[in-house]
Amino acid sequence: MHIYLPIAEVSVDAFLLLGLGGFVGILSGMFGVGGGFLMTPLLFFIGIPPAVAVATEANQIVASSFSGALAHLKRRTVDLKMGVVLLAGGLVGAALGVQIFNALKAIGQVELLVRLSYVVFLGTIGGLMFVESLKAIRRSRTGRPAQRYRKSQLVNVLPFKTKFRTSGIYISVIPPVAVGILVGVLAAIMGVGGGFIMVPAMIYVLGMPTKVVVGTSLFQIMFVTGFTTLLHATTNHTVDVVLAVLLLVGGVLGAQVGTRIGARLQAEQLRILLSLIVLAVCGKLALDLLVQPSEIYSLGAGAGH
């Protein structure tokens, strides 16, 4: 059943979109990740214009992080003060990101920016995760205990220290604001929540307890992607709500199935699997940049627009 997307102005099979949402939903349920970093490239592959894919994905992430954030708020596993600091940085970053996005769109390089960002981030994250998981498996075989990660010294010397009671840490606000800005920029440019950057940064750089990390990041992601959606909607008119809802419905159902599959697999195996998927998507995007395209010409809106 084909459906005409009002903003993307393309006709796509509705079941393909539901299936795509379901597929990424299963993965995100299995691995406990948002899935934006997989969905946006997949939307490029099926022919959705990159600008629409990025903006619509931001809209979808708001909805998919909403129920998660709500559940964590109920369980009191959100560090609200830290969340607000990260959010302040996130809003600045998102505004900055949309500016960069629009400037590059005007000179026809936005697709390159989005693809390059994906190759760099997916390559780095996937590679690190793969190596880390291999090491962990080897450790569990030899029976040596894992190294404890020590909090970065930089966090202790910076000024504007404040107490984050829920997390039980006393650190400068500069690192969390900086992390927030980075995540905000990524949300605007790549259409991702940024959990894959923020969660490791919270644990390793800020030294937050694991228990509040996921809830706090979901809290920040919900608001930052919401703000990003509004910015894209008002400046670019690229948020396609029909596309977002179809992906979302598939995604929510897929996530429920994925959670159940994930519960049966071992954590290390899951991480290796996820890193391989991430590296595969990264490889495909990199290949598209490196190999001569079959059509070297492309069309864009004229300067009059």
Which stretches of the chain bind other proteins, using CB under 8 A? 1-4, 6-7, 9-11, 59-60, 62-64, 66-67, 108-109, 111-112, 116, 226, 229-230, 232-235, 237, 239, 241-242, 244-245, 248-249, 251-253, 256, 289-293, 295-305
CA distance 31 to 199: 13
Nearer to other proteins, 91 or 177 (CB): 91
Give, rounded to a whole angstrom, the gap between the first and last alpha carbons of the chain.
33
Q: Which two tokens stand for residue 280?
A: 């595969």
Q: What is the CA radius of gyration of the chain?
A: 20
Residues 177 and 184: their CA atoms lie apart, in Å, by: 10
Encoding tokens for residue 58? 């931001």
In angstroms, give the least distance from the CB of 59 to other proteins: 5
- Closest separation in Å from C-beta 56 to other proteins: 9
Q: Which is nearer to other proteins, 182 or 189 (CB)?
A: 189
Q: Cα 304 from chain centroid?
A: 33
Q: Quick one: 144 or 305, whose CB is closer to other proteins? A: 305
Burial class (CB in 10 A: 0-12, 13-18, 19+), 3: middle
Q: Count CB-CB contacts under 10 A for residue 150.
A: 8
Nearer to other proteins, 49 or 93 (CB): 49
Pick the closer one to other proteins by CB: 84 or 249: 249
Closest distance of CB 265 from other proteins, Å: 21
Output 89 or 250, the one with its CB closest to other proteins: 250
Cα dist. 279→31, 63, 176, 232, 299 in Å?
15, 27, 28, 28, 30
CB of 124 to other proteins, least distance (A): 17
Structure tokens, 47: 């022919």
Which of 145, 302 has the CB closer to other proteins? 302
Minimum distance between the CB of residue 298 and other proteins, rounded to whole angstroms? 5
* Residues 6+ away with beta carbon under 8 Å from 96: 181, 184, 185, 188
When the beta carbons of 33 and 201 are compared against other proteins, the nearer one is 33
Cα-Cα-Cα-Cα dihedral sign, residues 68, 55, 198, 42: positive
Shortest reach from residue 200's CB to other proteins, in Å: 26
230: left (phi over 0), alpha (psi -120 to 50) or beta: alpha
Closest CA to 29 of 270, 219, 247: 270
Shortest Cβ 89–other proteins spacing (Å): 21
The least distance separating other proteins from the CB of residue 242, rounded to whole angstroms, comes to 7
- Which helix (H) or strand (E) segment holds residue 82: the answer is helix 80-106
Helix 174-190 and helix 50-74: axis angle, to 10°?
Answer: 140
